[in-house]
Structure 1
Amino acid sequence: MTDPTTTAGDSPFADLIAANQAFADDFTLGGFDGVAKAGVAIVTCMDSRIDPLGMLGLKPGDAKIFRNPGGRVTAAALEALVLGVHLLNVNRVLVIPHTRCAMTSSTEVELRQKVGESAGQDASWQGFHVVTDQLGSLRQDVSAVRSHPLIAERASVGGFVYDVDTGLISQHY
């Protein structure tokens, strides 16, 4: 826990707080109503090489974005999509994992071991959504969204893969 008497200059977040101040000085996004102006929801990976809005020619306010390791359609992602479809103007859903994803390059056991070594404690209890077959997982994820009773006929759903080396997406489902 951080000492509340720490000054901003001493904070490990000082650079980000300063950047936020500069961002706020020119802030023009206020007043948005929170709906997806382009009717788009994106489920993608948390990988920092991915710019979900930029890769689709969208801008802030156009889409709802849900990110997690591997870009999987988890229970939390489905919850977000249901809310997006019914309350936030979403009528198109893109599920977009990416090439060279860390979640495709290790097994569950290997990730638990790596995290445990880094943490200096047992991590065998921690679950990860490891992807052993990226296109097979994408097919399952798209199917989960398309067949969800609260989404099914209310939104078009597509499965894509983002190439982190070219910036291109390719549709698979």
Structure 2
Amino acid sequence: MDDFTDLIAANKTFAEDFTLGDFDGVAHAGVAIVTCMDSRIDPLRMLGLEHGDAKIFRNPGGRVDGSALEALVLGVHLLGVERILIVPHTKCAMAGNTEADLRVKVGSSMGVDASWQEFHVITDQIASLQEDVRRVRSHPLIPESVKIGGFLYYVDTGLIDQKF
């Protein structure tokens, strides 16, 4: 069995004063965030939000793919989402590598051929962000009343800059 002892112990400490058992699951601030899986990003704290305020969807690069769109549609119609922020970040590995780079790095790490794996790298972060904002705004199941913004998060300063 894999060793998760430290995390299980931390969870027990967390559960000792757990107060969210009756939480309704609604985004109390009406916010949904699509961002990267990068551990330098703390989606709630960077926006002054707290647990329960937002629905957060993370993936490599913070792209609005099919799964992100599904989450956003559900968030809007079932979970109180009224504002959507799409937030990629500076120094992102998905924007700083090519498909070939990532295939070589992963293949070398695993000791196998990874040339078949797609990683969906980002060649132009701003153009990709604009495309993602447009994709959400034009989705037939996301009403025009929902506010949608495209931002870039700067990992060295903690600031966000609205681009769209």
**Cα pair 1:72 1:129 within 8 Å, conserved:** no
Q: 2:12 aligns with which of 21, 29, 34?
A: 21
Greater CA drift, 124-133 or 34-43: 124-133
1:91–1:155 contact (8 Å) kept in structure 2: yes
- Cα distance in structure 2, aligned partners of 1:133 and 1:90: 28
Separation in structure 2 between the aligned mates of residue 123 and residue 77 of structure 1, nearest angstrom: 25
Residue in 1 that maps onto 2:63 = 72
Report Cα offsets for 1:89-120 as digits up to 9, x if no partner.
Answer: 00100000001111111001110111111111
Map 1:35-74 to 2 at 5 A: 35-74=26-65
Within the alignment, does 1:129 sit opposite 2:144 as a pair? Answer: no
* Percent of aligned pairs with the same amino acid: 71
Indicate which of 62, 86, 93 corresponds to 2:84: 93
Structure 1: unaligned runs, 5 residues or longer: 3-10
After TM superposition, give the deviation of residue 47 of structure 1 in Å. Answer: 0.4
Post-superposition Cα deviations, 1:15-46, rounded to whole Å, max 9, x if no partner, equal 00000011111112221111100100000000
2:116 partner letter: W
Once superposed, which parts of structure 1, at least 4 consecutive aligned residues long, lie more than 2 Å away?
A: none
Q: How many residues align?
A: 164
Within 2, Cα distance between the matches of 1:18 and 1:157?
A: 39
User: Structure 1: how far apart are the matches of 2:91 and 2:56?
Assistant: 21
Task: State how far apart, in whole Å, the 2-side matches of 1:153 and 1:26 are.
Answer: 41
CA RMSD of aligned residues (A): 0.9
Q: Is the 8 A contact 1:145 1:152 kept in 2?
A: no
Describe the SS at the equivalent of 1:99: coil
Flag structure 2 segments of 5+ consecutive residues without an equivalent. none
Change (3 A) 1:125 1:152: farther
Q: Which amino acid aligns with 2:77?
A: H
| Number of the residue aligned with 1:32 | 23
| Partner Cα separation in structure 2 for residue 154 and residue 68 of structure 1 | 26
CA distance in structure 1 between the aligned counterparts of 2:44 and 2:66, rounded to whole angstroms: 23
What one-letter code is carried by the residue in structure 1 that aligns with 2:69? Answer: L
Q: Tell me which amino acid in the other structure corresponds to 2:66.
A: A
